[in-house]
Amino acid sequence: MIVNSNPRRTRTAQYLLLFGYVVFLGFPLLWMLSMSFKGPRELVQLYPSFIPEDFTLENYRLALTEENHQFVRSAVNSLKVAILTALLTTMIGLPAAYVLARRKGVITRLGIGWILISQMFPLILIIIPLFLLLRDLKLTNSHIGLIVVYNVWALPFVLWMLYSYVRGIPPDLEEAATVDGATRLQILTGIIAPLLLPGIVVTTLFAFITAWNEFFFALVILESPDLTTLPLRLAQYVGIEGVVRFGPLAAAALLATIPSLILFTIIQRWLTRGLLSGAVKG
């Protein structure tokens, strides 16, 4: 296929380059993994080794149990906020996404325009007025307040993803059903919903991951340690100095990544389609 004077040399160069990418992308991950298995003595050792010399799970035990199981409590908070955000945004976004995909004209243009513009606004500009609003409603430093903010923030991309999934369903199907005398509700629940289900699942899971990973809003809205989410908890962890702390820190960071990594592995095949089809077609 490749017209080149020396195909074998090209291949070798390609493999070398690919290897370079694997190292660049994977090495920091492996290093964090390695550190999470090192005992306190090895962590302060002058010349660190890549593979842990005295392998230990102590860091994981510490990460999970320290400060009265603060990590577990934060995980539960994160789980709660992320699940509610994911379900709520998808439910709110779904009907609107359907309208945007099926109706042409002013509404669609306004909707899509807003989705794109909302990407441009720095979070600082939206969080200050939202913070004032939530304070007036006595919702700062509460999970409800955080979920409200997450919904505002997640809605654009949830709408965008659902919009492109709806557009993937041929309108002819609905037309045929209308001719057969089906009502709007029957069409929506009987035809659209089943076809859209994979898209809805992917969108919900993606919204979950984004909320699970979010840091800035949590930092602004939440104060009490009882309410802390995982990214917030981990960022506070960083502040505690001392090389010995890096072991539990690495362990906690890895543990906190697992849920979103698993979900992401499940959805990644569909994700790229949902995120990009709209852009390519639109």
- Does position 31 interact with other proteins (CB under 8 A)? The reply is yes
Please list every residue from 88 through 147 that binds other proteins, using CB under 8 A.
91-93, 95-96, 98-99, 102-107, 109, 114, 118-130, 132-133, 135
Whether the CB-CB separation of 245 and 44 falls below 8 Å is answered with no
Least Å distance, CB 281 to other proteins, is 11
Q: How far is the CB of 162 from other proteins (least distance, A)?
A: 10
- DSSP E strand stretches across 57-152: none
In whole angstroms, what separates CA 66 from the centre of its chain?
A: 27
Please classify residue 239 by burial: count the beta carbons closer than 10 Å to its beta carbon, then call 0-12 exposed, 13-18 middle and 19+ buried. Answer: exposed
What is the 8-class DSSP label of residue 245? G
Which residues ranging from 207 to 266 are in contact with other proteins (CB under 8 A)?
A: 209, 212-216, 219-220, 230-231, 234-235, 237-238, 243, 246, 249-250, 253, 256-257, 260-261, 263-265
Question: 60 CB contacts (<8 Å, ≥6 apart)?
Answer: 36, 251, 255
Within positions 51 to 90, which residues make up the interface with other proteins, using CB under 8 A? none
Judged by beta carbon, residue 105 or residue 194, the one nearer other proteins is 105
Q: Which residue of 184, 186, 197, 226 would you call a contact of other proteins, by CB under 8 A? A: 184
The tokens of 267 are what? 């959805």
Among 174, 198, 201, 225, binds other proteins (CB under 8 A): 174
The verdict on 268 binding other proteins (CB under 8 A) reads: yes
Q: State the DSSP H helix or E strand holding residue 51, giving kind and residue range, or none if neither.
A: none
Report the Cα 245 to chain-centroid distance in Å: 27
